[in-house]
Structure 1
Amino acid sequence: MRTEDLLAAIATGLWRWDNASGTVTLDAEAARLLGLPAEPTTLAESAVRSRFHPVDWNEINGVVNLAVAEGTLAEARLRIMDEEGRLLRTVRSRSKPVVDGDNYTLFGTLQEVAEQQPGSAARTPVTGDWRRSREAFLLDAGRALAEARSTAEVLRVAASLSMPGFSPDGLAVFGAGGGRIRIIGHHGHNAGDMGPFSDMPLDMDYPAAEVVRTGRAIYLPSPEEYRRRYPASWSLAQRFERRSWAFLPLIVAGRTMGAWMAGFAHPVGFTPDERSVLTTVARMLAQALARAGIAESERELSQGLQRAMMPTLGPEIPGMKVAARYVPTGGGLQVGGDWYDMIPLPNGRIALVIGDVQGHDVHAAGLMGQLRIALRAYASEGHRPDAVLSRASRFLHGITGTYAPDDHISPRFATCLYIEADPATGILDIARAGHPDPAVRMADGTVLVRPTAGGLPLGIDPDTDYPTTRLVLEPGETIMICTDGLIETGGHDLDTGWARLRAILEGHAGDNLEKLADTLVAAVHGPSSHYTTGPVGERREDDIALLLLCREALDDSLEPGTLPSVGDRGRRTALTVAQAEPERIAGVRLQVRDLLHDWTGSEQVDSAVLMVSEMVTNVLVHTDGDALLVAEVTGRPRRLRVEVADASDELPHRRRPGEMASSGRGLMLMEMLADAWGVDPRGEGKSIWFELYEVEGPDTGAEAAPGAGPAA
């Protein structure tokens, strides 16, 4: 008897589906089952498709694609419809795909099966609540795996997946490399259970090893099937007392990176729908592990770059304490162009440097490393701050201005602030290249932004000059320098950002310098962990570099490395206004107001600002030199003393300006507003000064201040 006759006797037909030509060949029994004349025929795919229920036709595409991908049988239950769209019968299809390049041919059978009764607990693979649950499960699993940021998180998500109707009780993820497979994570096993599987050769007779070698899934629906196919490793798996296993490849970009094992405590038949769910989860798991691996590699590279590029602070500076922080932007490679440095100088002083190379990418980080090394070299040669920045600007212009147009790299610039500090005297010589000004927290807690002379950012003009500003850091004072990421993050501009930082500095009187550094960064980004030298938060808007330098107070009762508390200590500020910078008079007025931020009488503050503005303006108008201003608040009740010195020997004299005169009222204002004032000749030049005495109690202004009158 022929095979076709034997199959027809048991109501089983044969078919052949050629995907390349789009034709389906049926024997007589297969044609009859499809509602066609019972004779062999070859039809177009569309003619056969019209005989299937539309829902079943859509489902069989996924089943066939899964079988092609796995090299397994394609099994489906199909409803056959007549020409009027009525259900004719239900058949079961089993076919084997033979792949030829991008095309395949299905060889299989069709067999009539009994109709499913309404209300039956069993459901077809393509209909019912199971299908809806499967779709919801896959959506949730995809979302959870997409949000996982590390390998550990991916494995936790995989362990928590509850598949509809056939959840595994044990999972293991194997990674492949170097001719071996290793477990990188597992769930549902006791400590030590996975020891024999932790490191195996790739040619071992074990399902996961075969999956990695072939890139095809393996389904073992029973212990007998496991023992038959893998007798060498059955003894290792037997003790877990599982009933079914699925081993699926983890494939990314066509490369098998490992395998995923799902073990079941109950028998699983691995129907096409169940295999479809497992295959989809394996694909999502592979993508999530690949993303997590890339992210972890980037973090490791970033941390390595940070460790290589960020210096350690030391040695200790006698009489001073230093704290520093670097916080990366958090996007991609968490490294950018911000940096800080501390450089011992040949003259026994110390240089503090902070800067920001334009950009937040690896190119910016590379330029930052080169620029930092160049600055260290120039500083170690003994150059003054202005010369160090001038040389650094020429260096950066040289290495960024020589790219060819097809390099797709635009020239970069960098801002920088360089401080040469004398630990013995507290003298700070500052040169600034387009960088934010420093801020000084005084011994009594008052915080002033100290305007300093500056030039263009490094790398823009190789011939730029960088004037030097000299400040004195008094005992108990702290100077803060930072990049703009600390100031402007969170939608702040330069002014509101400084106001936020000022409040933090003023509110941390007496705290340790390291804690103050942490507080400044945490206030910008919130609670965090993993700093380069302390905690790091979530994704940053910009890199942050921060340096704090504290000159220790003379009070022996204070512990080393702590800030003095707010009390009756004096406060002092000094700054120079050059002839070429008359616009800095506005900054002088602001400095005086900040110095007197808690002064009782607002009218006295206005008077002081007016007199200082007049004094500095007179120097710039009537002399050829610069104006040096020193303002100091001391005592209790407090006294403000302001001196403005210049190099001219010509003493001021009283004039009687007319109503329309634009000048000549300086001495008249001081007579009217100051409690005391005078002019002191010096060896070179002179000093004009005034004093105001704070009135305790209500805001009554200056009219009740004692001692008013000229003292020239």
Structure 2
Amino acid sequence: MRTGEPLPLPAVEQVLATLATGLWHWDTSTSLVRVDAEAARLLGLPAEGTTLSESQVRARLHPVDWNEITGVVQLAVAESTLAEVRIRIMDEQGRIVRVVRSRSKPSFDPHKRAYELIGTLQEVTEPAPGTPADRRTVTGDWRRSREAFLLDAGRALAEARSTAEVLRVAAGLSMPGFSPDGLAVFGVSGDRLTIIGHHGHRPGDEGPFAAMSLDTAYPAADVARTGRAVYLPSPEEYARRYPLTWPLAQQFGRQSWAFLPLTVAGRTIGAWMAAFAYPVAFTPDERSVLTTVARMLAQALSRAGTAESERELTDGLQRSMLPSLGPEIPGMSVAARYIPTGGGLQVGGDWYDLIPLPNGRFALVIGDVQGHDVRAAGLMGQLRIALRAYASEGHRPDAVLSRASRFLHGIADDGADLRFATCLYVEVDPATGVVEAARAGHLDPVIRMPDGTVLLRDTAGGLPLGVDPDCDYPTTRLALEPGEVMMICTDGLMETGGHDLDSGWARIRRILELHDGDLEELADSLVQAVHGPSSHHTTGPLADRREDDIAFLLLCRKGEGCGCGDSPAVHAPVRRTMLTVAQAEPERIAVARRHLRELLHDWASQDQLDSAVLLVSEMLTNVLVHTDADALLVAQVTGEGAGRRLRVEVSDTSDDLPHRRHPGELASSGRGLVLIELLADEWGVAPRGEGKGIWFELCEGDDSVSYDGDGSAGGDPGGAAAGV
């Protein structure tokens, strides 16, 4: 044989057989494995060349090792390296007869979608069981540690919700047997590398590597450009392969480096560097761990980047749709909060608005479009603009909501996804404190008085906007006294945290009663009570725990007890509530009783409270039964301490004055004035230019007279109240 000619295959096999090394060839497209005589012997077969099926070969190998071969082959193809693995050979009884080392150069045919491997088999000597060098124990421990580490790393990276959290998790990973002391994550921006984050380096160390061109002879640039990993087990190897950028890396004093591609959906989005302070050989097992971590890290960074982009987009969308509260209103203070839901894109249909009106007044609007998606946010933006336009034209609250309902019905009815919206529109006169409210299926406003008394103010209303374009929205007039605060909100404030409207209202009511500060502090306290610390617009993990959007507005008429700083002094604190009971709404008598009980929540005498509720029922019922007019109830508490006084007046537009009668024992009516005379400290009838008013007063603590329910003094008035 002439020098320089390749050895013929039989000669190669003879040389390898002399070295106790076998040859094998595996083509996954045919599922056949060809082995020479030495390879067959090592597999426990007769020492002759043969062709085996994959199942025949698999039967000779330990099942765990067969599964590992598949992973190592895929890794070697991805990195264009040799595939090396130790394999335990089994006999027919399932006993291990020897351990062999397989080395091969795999290739992948994308057309056949199959692997082809040509490699060698060589027996390795295993130490005796129980010795410190027992590889079976070491290998088993390594595999168990590796699997546990990868499970923990995958769980931690999957839970990371931002790029910063992903980097913190990556920095804290402790790989089994070889933990890097320096990490860096590179991104790609155009034709440049960027530094997303790093660990184990001083601030400013990343400077020379930032904005590096992808054409630079630097490992991370090569990885980002080609998508193939680079392993540098020694400083000499680094300096040989990358002499131009070696001086940049030399200063950190590391001994080994691994640069791996960050690949998502077949696209390389960057590179991950793991640097070690001691030499690392980067065995197939170690490369497998690093590659798996790089894949999980790429997926986590991609998810975090997408989530951050969505949050930035939707937060900007919501901010652009929500108004500023505008210039300061004389004599008034306003505060508002909006916190989006944590689901989906964090966009929803809740909104608030403050609208200057042409008559010198202003309007507060709060609403909730059905749904928590982009369509809901779009409809919300259109509806808000429409409401602003109708209000700016000078329409009254009922007309504004009627027009808005027709508008929403027209744009939201596409035949497949009909949407509606609840809304509360409040027109406020800052000079007098008069409030006119119209409600479309929304929650009623809440009033907090200067002394902490909190009332839910019932207002007339109609169907949600967009349901019936011809629906009417009656207006309710209220009076905001100096020092009082009005809150209007969406149902998210009440129901978040697993509450229904009743339990949620009880929670919010306690916050309103106990708070002593300005409106901004009160707004923060309300959100704090629901979710913890917040800002005007909250995103991130806090938002993710929400079930619904939250929006609310607080309006204060400056006065003593409101905490607004420059409030004028009001020396005689007054609690007052007003309520109209129409002829067609006798059920509002129950609302009047509830209002009075809330007004007297801290009244010392329960008997007096029951008497007052009974008298209010009697007076309102008399107006509805004996006249054709509506009844107006005004109840107020004046004074401080034990000398407080309750005055209740019910007025109507009828000129017929009440007359005291003397009903018999079996009479079903005629006891109204008798009850007032028995139970009230003072009472009277006040004729007016149009109509009349009947009133009574009670002085707190003077409960010497009560009513039994049978027309006599003494006892519990509850029975009579139930029968009125």
- TM superposition score normalised by structure 2: 0.91
Residue by residue, what CA displacement relative to the aligned partner does 1:363-420 show, whole Å, maximum 9, x if unpaired?
A: 211111111111111111111111111111111111111x143xxxx21111111111
2: CA distance, partners of 1:598 / 1:86: 86
Q: Residue 601 of structure 1 contacts residue 701 of structure 1 at CA under 8 Å; is this kept in 2?
A: no
Q: Which residue of 1 aligns with 2:533?
A: 528
- CA deviations on 1:448-474 (whole Å, 9 max, x unpaired) are 111111111111111111111111111
| Counterpart residue type for residue 88 of structure 2 | R
Q: State the shift of 1:445 in Å.
A: 2.4
2:225 to 206, 213, 221: 213
Q: Match for residue 381 of structure 2?
A: 369
- Residue type of the alignment partner of 1:691: E
Give the partner amino acid of 1:436. Answer: L
**What is the CA distance between 1:122 and its match in structure 2?**
6.7
Relative to structure 1, the CA distance from residue 529 to residue 638 in structure 2 (aligned partners, 3 Å threshold; closer, same or farther) is closer
Provide the C-alpha distance between the structure 2 equivalents of 1:589 and 1:471, rounded to a whole number of angstroms: 17
Query: Which letter maps to 1:395?
Result: F
How do 1:273-422 and structure 2 match up within 5 A?
A: 273-401=285-413, 403-405=414-416, 410-422=417-429
Offset of residue 701 of structure 1? 5.5
Q: Which amino acid aligns with 1:523?
A: A
- Which residue of structure 1 aligns with residue 188 of structure 2? 176
Does residue 604 of structure 2 align to residue 604 of structure 1?
no
Q: Distance in 1 between the 2:684 and 2:575 partners?
A: 22
Cα deviation for residue 661 of structure 1 reads 3.9
Q: Equivalent residue of 1:323, what SS? A: strand
Q: Which residue of 1 aligns with 2:103?
A: 94
- d(CA) in 1 for partners of 2:540 and 2:630? 45
- Report the Cα distance in structure 1 between the residues aligned to 2:539 and 2:235, rounded to whole angstroms: 53
Q: Which amino acid aligns with 1:647?
A: T
Q: 1:558: how far off?
A: 7.4
Q: Select which of 89, 114, 121 maps to 1:80.
A: 89
How far apart are the structure 1 equivalents of 2:273 and 2:533?
36
> What CA distance in whole angstroms lies between the structure 1 residues aligned with 2:79 and 2:622?
90
Which deviates more from structure 2 when the two are superposed, residues 422-431 or residues 2-11? Answer: 2-11
1:131 aligns with 2:137: no
Determine the C-alpha separation between the residues in 2 that align with 1:387 and 1:690.
Answer: 38
Counterpart of 2:124, as a letter, is V
Q: How many residues align?
A: 694
Structure 1 partner of 2:644: 638
Instruction: Assess if the C-alpha contact under 8 Å between 2:340 and 2:539 holds in 1.
Output: no
Residues 245-280 of structure 1: CA distance to partner in whole angstroms, max 9, x if unpaired? 111111222222111111112121111111111111
Is it true that 1:514 corresponds to 2:520 in the alignment?
yes
User: Which residue of structure 1 lines up, in the alignment, with residue 162 of structure 2?
Assistant: 150
Q: Does 1:38 align with 2:47?
A: yes
**In the TM superposition, what is the alpha-carbon distance from 1:648 to its structure 2 partner?**
1.2
Q: Which whole-Å CA distance do the structure 2 matches of 1:683 and 1:515 have between them?
A: 46
* In structure 2, distance between residues paired with 1:214 and 1:558: 65
Find the counterpart in structure 1 of residue 631 from structure 2. Answer: 627
Instruction: Give the structure 2 partner of residue 61 of structure 1.
Output: 70
| Number of the residue aligned with 1:108 | 119
Which stretch shows the higher mean deviation, 594-603 or 226-235? 226-235
User: Would you say 1:582 and 2:586 are equivalent positions?
Assistant: yes
SS of match in other structure, 1:200: coil
1:537–1:318: structure 2 CA closer, same or farther, 3 Å change rule? Answer: same
Distance in 1 of aligned mates of 2:501 and 2:198: 51
- Partners of 2:116 and 2:267 in 1: how far apart? 25
Query: Given that residues 351 and 420 in structure 1 are in contact (C-alpha distance below 8 angstroms), is that contact kept between their aligned partners in structure 2?
Result: yes
- 1-side partners of 2:568 and 2:405: how far apart? 36
Q: 1:448 aligns with which of 431, 446, 455?
A: 455
Residue-by-residue CA offset, 1:487-535 (whole Å, 9 max, x unaligned): 22233333332222222222123x112111111221122x223432899
* Equivalent-residue separation in structure 1 for 2:81 and 2:386 (angstroms): 64
Give yes or no for contact 1:125–1:273 (8 Å, CA) kept in 2.
Answer: no
- 2: distance between equivalents of 1:388 and 1:701? 50
Measure, in 1, the Cα distance between the counterparts of 2:52 and 2:524.
76
8 Å Cα contact 1:695/1:702 also seen in 2: no
3-state SS, counterpart of residue 142 of structure 1: helix
Q: 1:691: how far off?
A: 1.6
Deviates more, 1:67-76 or 1:181-190: 67-76
Please say if 1:232 is aligned against 2:222: no
Corresponding position of 2:598: 594
Please report the TM-score for the alignment, with normalisation by the length of structure 1. 0.93
Report percent identity of matched pairs. Answer: 73
- The secondary structure found in structure 1 opposite 2:45 is coil
Q: Structure 2 vs 1, CA of residues 582 and 15 (structure 1 numbering), >3 Å: closer, same or farther?
A: same
Query: In structure 2, what is the Cα distance between the partners aligned to 1:143 and 1:635?
Result: 64
> Conserved in 1, the CA contact under 8 Å of 2:518 and 2:563?
no
Write the deviation string for residues 644-698 of structure 1: whole angstroms up to 9, x where unpaired: 11111122223344444433221221122122222222121111111222226xx
SS in 1 for 2:280: coil
* C-alpha distance in structure 2 between counterparts of 1:587 and 1:246, whole Å: 74
| Residues 1:216 and 1:426: Cα distance change in structure 2 (over 3 Å) | same
Residue identity opposite 2:631 in structure 1: A
SS of equivalent to 2:553: strand
Give 1:710's aligned residue: none
Aligned to 2:464: 457
| Residues 87 and 418 of structure 1: CA distance in aligned 2, closer, same or farther (over 3 Å) | closer
**1:50 aligns to what SS in structure 2?**
helix
After superposition, the C-alpha distances for 1:88-111 in whole angstroms (9 at most, x for unaligned) are 433211111110122111111112
Q: Is the 8 A contact 1:328 1:542 kept in 2?
A: yes
**What corresponds to 2:574 in structure 1?**
570
Residue in 2 aligned with 1:708?
none
Give 1:670's aligned residue.
Answer: 676
The gaps in structure 1 that reach 5 residues or longer are 706-712
Contact 1:145 1:157 in 2 (8 A): yes
Matched, 1:259 2:271: yes
CA contact (8 A) 1:327 1:536 kept: no
Distance in 2 of aligned mates of 1:11 and 1:427: 102
Q: Which residue of 2 aligns with 1:679?
A: 685
Q: How does 1:189-200 map to 2 (within 5 A)?
A: 189-200=201-212
Letter in 2 for 1:471: L
Match of 1:270 in 2: 282
Matched, 1:242 2:251: no
In structure 2, how many angstroms separate the alpha carbons of the residues matched to 1:340 and 1:523?
Answer: 21
Query: Bigger CA drift: 24-33 or 49-58?
Result: 49-58
Q: Gapped runs of 5+ residues in structure 2?
A: 1-6, 708-712, 715-724
Is the CA contact 1:76–1:125 (under 8 Å) kept in the aligned structure 2? no
* Partners of 1:443 and 1:564 within 8 A in 2: no
TM-aligned CA distance change 1:20 to 1:570, over 3 Å: same
CA-based RMSD: 2.4
Asked whether 1:426 is paired with 2:444, we answer no
SS state of the match for residue 604, structure 2?
coil
Corresponding letter in the other structure for 2:108: V
> What SS class does the counterpart of residue 474 from structure 1 fall into?
coil
Distance 1:424 1:212, change over 3 A: same
| Matched AA of 2:611 | S
Q: Give CA deviations for 1:179-204 in whole Å, capped at 9, x if unaligned.
A: 22211011111222222211222232
TM-superposition CA deviations, 1:83-142 (whole Å, max 9, x none): 454544332111111101221111111122233344133736982322221122112211
The amino acid of 2:523's aligned partner reads A
CA contact (8 A) 1:513 1:561 kept: no
Q: Is the 8 A contact 1:336 1:364 kept in 2?
A: yes
> Aligned in 2, Cα 1:207/1:29: closer, same or farther, shift over 3 Å?
same
Q: For 1:512 and 1:87, how far apart are their aligned partners in 2?
A: 79
Give distance in 2, aligned partners of 1:690 and 1:543: 45
